[in-house]
Structure 1
Amino acid sequence: MIHKPKKVFVDGPISPQFIADSIAKHQSKTTIGAHNIFLGQIRADEKAGGTVTGIEYTAYTDMAEQAFHDIREAAFARFKLTCMHIYHSLGLVPTGEISLFVFVSSPHRRATFEALEFIVEEIKAKVPIFGKELVGQAGDYTWKENK
């Protein structure tokens, strides 16, 4: 089944309330037996100029939205999923905040484990999103590597 492209990007950090609301919306879907969630959080890594205070994300949005859509379609074709949601931040996300939220649901747990790992690895490898790590208080930055 071909799915409609979905809006993936959100401005700034992804809030705990947004995540909780997403989970709550699935209580009425009684064919689901398992959910799995990945939350990418900004670390306060130590760099040459000091401690990372946040990441400012930019993207080629049209290309990125297409890449996210292609990843979704590949995951639905490969795994028995009921639904999937992917959200990624644009703009500044301070350390300790969430910048990536992937939520998959299936009748059975194994599919959620396998699909989630596949999706996150594909996002890191294929989506044109760029992170500028802000370091220290002086406004210095380094470009983040996707690892």
Structure 2
Amino acid sequence: MSDRKPKNIFITGPISPSFIAESIQKHSTQKAIGGHSIFLGQVRADETEGGVVSAIEYTAFEELAMDNMHVIREDIFAKYPLTCMHVYHSLGSIAAGEICLFVFTSSAHRKAAMDACEETVERLKAELPVWGKEIIAGATHQWKVNK
């Protein structure tokens, strides 16, 4: 494991398109990067027995989630020749249609960036203590988002 410290991956509220665009733009100065892979998780307006989902209220055991994400990050960097990786997850109420997860990997070659991005998303969904409660007009239903 490297000497890197766990990074705070949480953002209160939705992840804005301008934040995503700025993150991409910042990498234009890094001339060794040949490929980026981006995953954007968006809240769906699923139809349930109780009605249509209007939002998801995200909560997390933040300290443990950041520690677990640090382990995932180190594992991914050991497995793939990445230049960088950025992960952001929303907390709070995120409306249907808004972005709640942003994973961004970069490498000299596209395959490493794409494979690392996919594996990162799958691992964080399985290993991070992050939960979501569906908000439905007039009712709520709790479910664990990352399983």
TM-score, length-normalised on structure 2?
0.95
Matches within 5 A, 1:63-78: 63-78=64-79
Consecutive unaligned residues in structure 1, runs of 5 or more: none
Match of 1:16 in 2: 17
Contact 1:133–1:144 (CA under 8 A) maintained in structure 2 = no
1:142 correspondence with 2:109: no
TM-score, length-normalised on structure 1?
0.95
CA pair 144-50 structure 1, distance change in 2 beyond 3 A = farther
CA distance, structure 2, for counterparts of residue 140 and residue 132 of structure 1: 7
Identity %: 55
Q: Provide the aligned C-alpha RMSD in A.
A: 1.2
Query: Aligned AA for 1:84?
Result: M
Matches within 5 A, 1:1-147: 2=2, 3-135=4-136, 137-147=137-147
CA distance, structure 1, for counterparts of residue 88 and residue 37 of structure 2: 14
CA distance, structure 1, for counterparts of residue 115 and residue 132 of structure 2: 26
Consecutive unaligned residues in structure 2, runs of 5 or more: none
Could you report, residue by residue, the CA deviation over 1:2-52 in whole angstroms, capped at 9, with x for unpaired residues? 233212000010000000000000010011000010000000001110000
Q: Number of residue pairs matched? A: 146
Secondary structure, aligned partner of 2:29: coil
